[in-house]
Amino acid sequence: MAGVTLFEVGPRDGLQNESVLLSSEDKVFLVEQLMDAGLTRIEVSSFVSPRWIPQLADAEEVFRQVQRRPGVELSALVPNEKGLERALACQVDAVAVFMSASETHNLKNINKTRVDTYPVLAPVVTAAKAAKKSVRGYVSTAFGCPYEGEVAITEVIEVSMRLFEMGIDELSIGDTIGVAVPTQVEALLAEMEKQGIPLERIALHFHDTRGTAVANAYAGYQAGVRIFDGSIGGMGGCPYAPGASGNVSTEDLRYLFESMGVTTNTHLDKLRDAARWLSQRLQKTLFSHDSQVAHAMTWAEGESEPQ
């Protein structure tokens, strides 16, 4: 079966929800461990205002220190042209812009209506493309909004089309609050195909808050998607439900795919090492099914779990 790419969002999307501040050196070491584990697309940081997200205030420093490797894309989130300038100065390989499918979440998250957001993002995408950077778009709250409830497919399609029209290369569809079920995923992807959006340009970004992330990834794979966002160790949690799971862990996605015979080109031992190290550094138990199993499992006499 066709392989998948696990797109690692832990250092950015995961870390921004963690309260213990990591040093720049630790962040660099994290990214290096993730590259060691075989991950080839890593979102390293965010060039938003340090006032918004103090955890990621050292984006420049992290990019300055991290050793680039051939074949590995290190990207950053940029909210606007100023953020893009900072990112380009750091020689990022790729950038990502973001907005929400639902009006209220967009308003609360970036303080603008959706219609007012497009003119902010369009020049960012244009300038990034002019600088020969590939551009990812994120559409958040695509399956449910913490303020509005279920989000209509037509709204997701509208935002997605606008982002593609701006020139993004790839769109990551986010279940920000972890409410999606497989039938929703299938319905949205079917409508996207109908609208002429090629599914090879789609990534799926699931949260495991209600235990459906792996099921949704499976449905997405069946529909033809081959890029899945994960966070090492499940780092990040759910911003809307403290204590609950957020980003699905990279390891749990890996388990699903590798067990189905779908290669992820990643090394389980090294992913687990990174998750364990992070857990120590963040002084907390990270949530992933894999981490629960890794330490507890007695698989006959030795370790004979699928590697």
Nearest to 141 by CA among 96, 110, 95: 110
Whole-angstrom Cα distance, residue 167 to residue 60? 26
Angle ∠(128,172,279) on CA atoms, nearest 5: 100
**Minimal distance, residue 223 CB to its own copies, in Å:** 13
Toward its own copies, which CB reaches closer, 166 or 238?
Answer: 238
Q: Does 179 engage in binding with its own copies (CB under 8 A)? A: yes
Q: Does 152 engage in binding with its own copies (CB under 8 A)? A: no
Map residues 260-279 to x or -, x wherever contact with its own copies holds by CB under 8 A: xx------------------
Considering only 52, 118, 147, 277, the residue that binds its own copies (CB under 8 A) is: 147
Toward its own copies, which CB reaches closer, 47 or 206?
Answer: 206
**Minimal distance, residue 95 CB to its own copies, in Å:** 31
Q: Which of residues 41-60 bind its own copies (CB under 8 A)?
A: none
Can 90 be counted among the known catalytic residues? no
Whole-angstrom Cα distance, residue 144 to residue 156? 10
Toward its own copies, which CB reaches closer, 73 or 290?
Answer: 290
Q: Does 243 engage in binding with its own copies (CB under 8 A)? A: yes
Whole-angstrom Cα distance, residue 55 to residue 296? 32
Q: Are strands 94-100 and 5-8 parallel, antiparallel or unpaired?
A: unpaired
What is the Cβ-side half-sphere exposure of residue 291, based on CA atoms within 13 angstroms? 23
Q: E strands of the chain, at which residues?
A: 5-8, 41-46, 73-77, 94-100, 134-140, 170-174, 202-205, 227-230
> What residues act catalytically?
238
Q: Which positions lie near its own copies, rule CB under 8 A?
A: 146-149, 179, 181-184, 208-215, 217-219, 238, 240-245, 248-249, 252, 255-256, 259-261, 288-290, 292-293, 295-300, 304-305
